Amino acid sequence: MESKAMENDKSVAGRQEPYAQRKRVESSLARRHGAERRFRAAGMAAVLFGLGMVALLFISILGKGLPAFWQATVVTEVYFDPEVIKVDPRPEPLPGETPAQLREREMAWQTQLTMVNWNRIIENALATHLPEVEDARTRARLRQLVTSGERFALRDMVVADPGLIGQRLKLDLLADANVDVWLKGNIDRSLPDSQQQLSADVRAWADDLHERGIIQMKFSTALFGNPDSRSSLASAGLAGAFVGSVYMMAIVILLAVPVGVASAIYLEEFAPRNRFTDLIEVNINNLAAVPSIIFGLLGAAVFINWFKMPLSAPVVGGLVLSLMTLPTVIIATRSTLQAIPPSIRQAALGIGASKVQMILHHVLPLALPGILTGAIIGVAQAIGETAPLLLIGMSAFVASVPATPLDQSTALPVQIYLWQGNELRNFFEARTSAAIIVLLALMLSLNALAIWLRKRFEKRW
């Protein structure tokens, strides 16, 4: 009887064991599937959070910066009144006169033009729209509607074409920065007069002229065509900083890319494997992680203090950024070379090619997309650097567009830094965001070029 009961128990246990195993497997699968769903949800949340932050960044920058691309402009007829512009006729070459003597008389004539009361020309142009302004002291305040740099622009027009004297021209005169802020609503209109930058009558004139279409919001060509300015804030532009950045970018491309690629090829294909090579590789990796401000200190000590190169010059900035970009180019190029299958090299050597021919004819063409991508990303990263440029003096105010890499200049990120600290916050906050948009557009263009080059030359094996 006992043996039969034991057989029955074993039979029951045998029937229950597969059921228990199945329950355990189902429970384990449920836990695994739950963990997988949580992992996917966490990954999706991280991606959405990142995209949300990027979207928030772009919305913030575009929301603040896009209005700066349109600027208050006074569209009016300007009369180059001969009664105000009392100057001698432009000098003409005289028989036997040397170029130096002609130039001296030309400079004297331009000095006469500089002494002309150009503010009166602007006052007269604005007064035609506000005939009720008759008092001389009140008329003088009309000049507050137009930025101060426009009087120099009128002078330059006459210097270029003296025949304008006595003519009437319809011109676009940039409104003053405070007028632009007032019309765009970037200042609280309910503030008392003591806290307003413009007097009550100037504010009323600005509103009146804007309502009548004499002051219009026009695309700001000054933002792209003018250098920075502190005397005429509305005329401040990015031309000087943009050209300075282009010079530095050209130096980085011409210096860092070929040197970096050649160094990577030597280290990957020719250098013997020993402790010295390992030491070089470790230091290259360490240099890629060094803060950019250290390269600025190095550049100030070496290029400016030792080699006496010009301060605030794009050539110095380009050399400093080249040093900073070099490790990135070397590492990217070596990674690309390592990704080339060894069979390519062996096949080339097997058909009788030398090592140099193997590299130049077979390895480099296949590695070109990766090398170009790494180089362009390195250059794009260098364009956005600010810290090393501050240490070599490129934060200095420069009110001209550099003609050569040896001229004083600034750069786009440094210009953003300078505008961010300007005391006229209501005007330059939008200007700063507009400059960031230009810088981002330049960097995104380079990244898009890198992607296109990779797709264009990519080869699969």
What is the full DSSP assignment across 200-227?
Answer: HHHHHHHHHHHHTTSEEEEE-SHHHHS-
Convert the pLDDT of each residue in 243-260 to its tens digit. Answer: 999 999 899 989 998 999
> Within the chain, what is the greatest distance between any pair of CA atoms?
146
> Comparing C-alpha atoms, which of 437, 436, 419 is closest to residue 428?
419
CA torsion sign for 59, 61, 66, 72 is positive
Whether 457 and 372 have beta carbons less than 8 Å apart is answered as yes
pLDDT of 168: 92
Alpha helix locations (H) across 115-165?
118-127, 136-140, 149-160
Residues composing the chain: 461
Whether 397 and 417 have beta carbons less than 8 Å apart is answered as no
Whether 312 and 393 have beta carbons less than 8 Å apart is answered as yes
Q: What is the pTM of this model?
A: 0.81
Percentage above 90 pLDDT, the chain: 31
pLDDT of 366: 87
Positions of the chain with pLDDT under 70 = 1-16, 459-461
pLDDT of 2: 55
Convert the pLDDT of each residue in 133-170 to its tens digit. Answer: 888 888 888 889 999 889 999 999 999 999 999 999 99
CA distance 45 to 349: 51
> Comparing C-alpha atoms, which of 387, 213, 392 is closest to residue 315?
392
- Centre a 10 Å sphere on the Cβ of residue 461 and count the other Cβ atoms it contains: 7
pLDDT of 15: 62
